Amino acid sequence: MSCPRSLRLAALSLSNILLPIAVLVFATGFFPYKPFLPGLARFEDVGELRGGKEELGEKGGGPRVGAGGARRGQEEAVFDRVVFMVVDALRSDFVYGEGSGFGFTQSLIRSGAAIPFTAHATPPTVTMPRVKALTTGSVPSFLDLILNFAESDTSSSLSAQDTWLAQILAANGSIVFYGDDTWLKLFPPSPEGQPFFKRSDGTSSFFVSDFTEVDNNVTRHVPDELARSDWNAMVLHYLGLDHIGHKTGPQGPNMLPKQREMDGIIKMIYEAMEGYEHHETTLLVLAGDHGMNAGGNHGGSGPGETEPALLFASPVFKAMEKRQYECPTLPKEGTEFHYYSKVEQSDLVPALAAMMGMPVSKNSLGVLLPELTGLWKGERRVQLLLQNAKQLLHIVRAKYGGERFDRDAESHAKAMEEGDGGCRGPEGDEEKLIHGWGEVLYWLAQERGLENDQLLEEALYRFLKLAQETMSDTASSYDIPRMVTGMAVAGAALVFAVISSPSLWPPGIAGMSFTLICLLYGVMMFASSYVEEEQHFWYWLTPVWVSILIAKSLRNRSDMTSAWRTAAAGAILLCSHRLAVRWNQTGQKHAGEPDIVHAIFPEHHMLMWLLILLTYIMNGYFIHTRTFAGLLIPELTAFADVSLIVLATVFKLNFTQADAPELVQGLALKLREWSEPFSLVVQARAAFATMAVTGAGVVVLAIRQARGKSGQKAKAAQTSIALTERLSHLLTLFLMTQTRAPNVPLFLALETQKSALGWLLSTQSSSSKEKATKPRTSAVEAATSVLLLSHTYYFCMGGSNSISSIDLSNAYNGVADYNIAAVGLLLFSSNWAGPIWWCSAAVLLCTQRPAIASRKETAGAEKDRDWVMVEREKLQEDAKAIAKQANEQPASEDPHAGAWFVYVASMTAFVATSLLAVMAACTALRTHLFIWTVFSPKYLYALAWSLGWHLVVNVGFGSLLYQLCSIA
């Protein structure tokens, strides 16, 4: 079962080309297309909606909404000013629950001056999509999440979209803004240089350790602005509460004081509303953009993440007829965060539009809140609902095609007129909507009167709710043929990957294990709890695979000493694994439970810094002895080494002081004072630049050295180190810079595990020559080990399949202004540091060579030295020799040349299987309750693994490293 090599190469290339195609094709079918209406809404739009409408309206006694709507809208506005106060991650129970710090706000609710809601935030629950939802009223999808990271400043902006802010500007109003600078990115100045906000001051949420400055920066503007009357909307976005959540969780010690501080600001604003004459008709809106889970994070749709508070306050409400609200109160039975009425976040937009006399923004999917309709008398109320319904109807028609929809709705109305009763249980979304709108038309045409108005209102609400539900429900807009095509392409990629594998039969233990892992992983993708707790899968498989390697390695050992070494290597692998697994608690079920990083390090920060220092010293030692070995004079080597390590360590220290000061606690004050004049951006750039220069220098020098010595190959093979090995230690340093401080000691575990794995994977042959030419490492074994360990380290460094676990803190190292390519690279390398590291380790493992008898003796002679070091040295010598051999011999005859090929083929097979499984799970479970909470985030992660880790890192970067091996 072996095709010619060129054919296999073609199959593997084809497979890797098909992977991104499969991902993209499936994504276009899976992430729903939403009709988007350009331009600003005007009252005229809803007036001239349909030709037949005026007639219907006249029959009912004069046009209800017509060209005169704009004037009347503004005349009948309840409020002319709005203070829109966003408190980031303001979960509903923070405001409404027992033990809340919002005492004054709760008294407002009791007195009837405030109307409370729990607003449902659709995932992804991160700030930018939520701000989009709160301003446009649309429902941003997961595609927006990718765009959130990928957007350049112009394309992400909402300046081209219809928002309630744009409506205020269109009515010649003006807006001031203070708070999270996400808003400034979303609402940039116009192309003519006209700023969107009349006055503004943005704060960045760069370091979540900042609890006070971010908020003081906002609050200091508030009294001045309240005293002025030249604005129509003031937007405030407070970040402190979200930061406290991220740092210490919802129960943290700073949470209650922060809530009291926010309550104080509401009190200040409310008192100004009572005190200042120009604030007589000012509305205060308090909204959370999203909530937070028990760990204080957000992004997905875990409990609490999707339930922010939403509250309208004004003295005007006291006079409105409405129900009484108790406060503080308990959430609805059986729920944790469901207080009062649960509404959609998008409902804010029509509510604001109605209260301020503006047209409803074009793409809003909101429904006018019934709790607020007490502000208007019967006729006006119907008009507002009709305005809302016609605005939503625009979106419905854009989706289903206008002409036909109108015709069918009218015929349904006619049928009702003729007493048909009309409905024989409409089927499908479109038919339901047609019937809903037909009913509205029917009641519009009826005689006006109290009873009919009541029935019309009911029909309108039915239609509104139905339209909101249908248009936000993405299930209706899956493009199944495209999804199936995507799966078919992924299946083809899998087939080609399998074809490209050189030796399929008979399957060895490694091949069977690898296949079993692929199959089990595929099955696992269909169980939502296993997708959430994927780490268990890898934590569970790795020790068993290590045990198999131990047993196998024991068989190959001919003497007691090496048998004991095998046992020691196995013990090292297993112990490091067990320790790493407890480093960060991840997953959903036990999120926030104690682990080493969160339970031990905050109390023993000295221990953590000792480990970190040890890690840097180890890396410095390797750079000194391996990376620079034989390239430079010792003085220069020492200088370069020290500057590399010092720059990286100082940056790590200063960054941690800014990012997590509780882990530094006044440590190394002198050092920090000394480096004070240099900003973090400068420090990071200095560290990265030193690494880059060193890397380039090492490449040049090593190649030159290799050329110079090409005559005496044998000698070179013994004394020098493969370029790949040299560079791998620089890569380690880069990845350490991109890793959060508490995770840095894991690189110690990584290094020891790599050495131990090198021993277990190596086959010790007695002395015979034919064995010496066999590859020292079975590439499939290496691939299996690297696959398991890559995933293990991804999860034990805190990664998971939930959006909320993405670590943004290191994504801006050395980046001053938003640069999509740099931020993307840094973000990926900080979240996938472990898997990237293992890719370079895989190259080193794949270039190992069998130990021959003479080597064994050297190893015996150096018995007192650490065997790991001996092993390591052998490993590098071999790597070079092998690579050289690979270059010199014709490919077909060389057994080593195939090692990396087999590794890539195996990884391609796994990635194709996992993609296929995730796609199939997403397709089969598309109506599942968890599709947007578990399966679509998993798809995004599968996308990152396959495109980022597999294609870029393994196929691209890894192959490059492998090629370098043969150069020098």
In the list Zn ion, another protein, none, the entry touching 289 (Cβ below 5 to 8 angstroms by class) is Zn ion
303 near another protein (CB under 8 A): no
Give the H/E segment covering residue 252: none
The CB-of-746 to another protein minimum distance in angstroms stands at: 17
Stretch that binds Zn ion, among 238-246, 381-389, 393-401, 724-732 (CB under 5 A): 238-246
CB 536, min distance to another protein, A = 5
Considering the complex, state which of residue 126 and residue 744 has its C-beta at the smaller distance from Zn ion. Answer: 126
CB of 125 to Zn ion, least distance (A): 8
- Give 548 or 701: the residue with its C-beta nearer to another protein: 548
Shortest spacing between CB 858 and another protein, in angstroms: 17
Shortest distance, CB of residue 606 to Zn ion, whole angstroms?
A: 30
Neighbours of 590 (CB within 10 A): 11
Tell me if 89 sits within 8 A of 308, measured CB to CB.
Answer: yes
Nearest approach, Cβ of residue 795 and Zn ion (Å)? 22
Q: What is residue 832's three-state secondary structure?
A: coil
Which residues does residue 341 pair with via DSSP β-bridges, in sequence order?
117
**Distance (Å, whole) CA 801 – CA 944:** 11
Nearer to Zn ion, 259 or 762 (CB): 259
Work out what residue 242 binds among Zn ion, another protein, none; the CB cut-off runs from 5 to 8 Å by kind: Zn ion
What the block records as the tokens of 418 is: 């003729």
Beta-strand relationship, 282-287 and 309-313: antiparallel
Partner interacting with residue 88 (select from another protein, Zn ion, none; CB below 5-8 Å by kind): Zn ion
Provide the mask over 529-568, with x wherever binding to another protein is found by CB under 8 A and - wherever it is not: xx--x--x--xx--xx--xx-xxx-xx-xxxxx-xx--x-
Residue type, position 771, single letter: K
Strands 233-238 and 114-120, how do they pair?
unpaired
In eight-state DSSP terms, residue 933 is I
**Other C-beta atoms lying within 10 Å of the C-beta of residue 943:** 18
Largest CA distance in the chain: 107
For the chain, the distance separating the N- and C-terminal CA atoms, rounded to the nearest angstrom, is: 34
For the segment 125-144, give every residue that binds Zn ion (CB under 5 A).
127
CA nearest to 36, candidates 113, 116, 139, 124: 139
Query: Can you tell me the distance from the alpha carbon of 113 to that of 96, in angstroms, rounded to the nearest whole number?
Result: 15
**Between 173 and 295, CB nearer to Zn ion:** 295
Strand-pairing partners, residue 177, are 200, 235
Nearer to another protein, 150 or 544 (CB): 544
CB-nearer residue toward another protein: 407 or 590: 590
Smallest separation, CB 532 to another protein (Å)? 8
Closest CB to another protein among 326 and 593?
593
Name the minimum Å distance from CB 552 to another protein. Answer: 4
Choose among Zn ion, another protein, none what residue 528 binds, the Cβ cut-off being 5 to 8 Å by kind: another protein
- Closest approach of another protein to the CB of residue 533, in Å: 4
Smallest distance, Zn ion to C-beta of residue 738, A: 21
Minimum Å gap between C-beta 88 and Zn ion is 4
C-alpha triplet 282, 287, 291: angle, nearest 5°:
175
Which helix (H) or strand (E) segment holds residue 330: the answer is: none
Question: Number of C-alpha atoms within 13 angstroms, CB side, residue 930?
Answer: 18
Quick one: what does residue 557 bind among another protein, Zn ion, none, with the CB cut-off 5 to 8 Å set by partner type? another protein
CA-wise closest residue to 87 among 106, 102, 72, 76? 102
What region does 7 belong to: left with phi over 0, alpha with psi -120 to 50, or beta? alpha
* Total binding residues toward another protein, as defined by CB under 8 A: 38
> Which residues in the 73-132 window bind Zn ion by CB under 5 A?
88, 127
Of 458 and 662, the one with the shorter C-beta distance to Zn ion is 662
- Least Å distance, CB 577 to another protein, is 7
Question: How far is Cα 444 from Cα 385, in angstroms, rounded to an integer?
Answer: 12
Compare residues 339 and 601 and give the one whose CB is closer to another protein. Answer: 601
The DSSP annotation for 779-794 comes to: HHHHHHHHHHHHHHHH
Q: Which is nearer to another protein, 530 or 957 (CB)?
A: 530
C-alpha closest to that of 394 among 706, 39, 71: 39
Site residues (CB under 8 A) for another protein, limited to 465-524? 508-509
Taking the complex as a whole, the smallest distance from the CB of residue 515 to another protein amounts, in Å, to 16
Q: Which residue is nearest to Zn ion (CB)?
A: 127
127 binds, among Zn ion, another protein, none (CB under 5 to 8 A by kind): Zn ion
Calpha distance 230→796 (Å, rounded): 54
Asked if 81 contacts 281 with a C-beta cutoff of 8 angstroms, the reply is yes
Q: What is the dihedral of CA 767, 771, 776, 781, to 10 degrees?
A: -130
Query: Which residue do the tokens 């008709």 mark?
Result: 281
The window from 184-192, 227-235, 570-578, 886-894 that contacts another protein (CB under 8 A) reads 570-578
Kindly tell me which residue out of 515, 528, 739, 800 binds another protein, with binding defined by CB under 8 A: 528
Window contacting Zn ion (CB under 5 A); options: 91-99, 227-235, 239-247, 443-451: 239-247
# of chain residues touching Zn ion (CB under 5 A): 4
Smallest distance from another protein to CB 861, Å: 15
Q: Which residues contact 172 (CB under 8 A, 6 or more apart)?
A: none
- Closer to another protein at the Cβ: 71 or 555? 555
- 242 is an interface residue for Zn ion by CB under 5 A: yes
Residue 513: CB minimum distance to another protein, A: 11
Tally the C-alpha atoms within 13 A of residue 687's C-alpha that lie toward its C-beta.
28
β-pair type (81-87, 309-313): unpaired
Q: Cα separation of 759 and 382, whole Å?
A: 79
Instruction: Put residue 89 in one of left, alpha, beta given phi > 0 → left and psi -120 to 50 → alpha.
Output: left
Q: x/- contact string, 585-624, with another protein (CB under 8 A)?
A: --x-x----x------------------------------
Placement of tokens 């112009």 in the chain: 154
Cβ at position 530, least distance to another protein in Å: 7
Comparison of 88 and 534: residue with beta carbon closer to Zn ion: 88
Nearer to Zn ion, 90 or 783 (CB): 90
Neighbours of 284 (CB within 10 A): 25
Site for Zn ion (CB under 5 A): which residue of 45, 144, 162, 289? 289
Q: Which is nearer to another protein, 167 or 785 (CB)?
A: 785
SS3 for 175? strand
Of 240-248, 403-411, 448-456, 814-822, which part binds Zn ion (CB under 5 A)?
A: 240-248
Backbone dihedral angles phi then psi of residue 373, each to the nearest 5 degrees: -70, -10
935 touches, from another protein, Zn ion, none (C-beta below 5 to 8 Å by class)? none
527 interacts with another protein by CB under 8 A: yes
Taking the complex as a whole, the smallest distance from the CB of residue 549 to another protein amounts, in Å, to 9
CA atoms within 13 A on the CB side of 41: 35
Task: Report what 552 binds from Zn ion, another protein, none; CB cut-off 5-8 Å by kind.
Answer: another protein
CB-nearer residue toward another protein: 226 or 581: 581
Instruction: Give DSSP secondary structure letters for 72-129.
Output: HHHHT-S-SEEEEEEETT-BHHHHHSTT-S-HHHHHHHHHTSEEEEEEEPPSS-SHHH
Quote the crossing angle between the two packed helices 509-524 and 779-796, to the nearest 10°. 40
Note the residues at the interface with Zn ion (CB under 5 A): 88, 127, 242, 289
Note the residues at the interface with another protein (CB under 8 A): 508-509, 527-530, 533, 536, 539-540, 543-544, 547-548, 550-552, 554-555, 557-561, 563-564, 567, 570-571, 574-575, 577-578, 581-582, 587, 589, 594
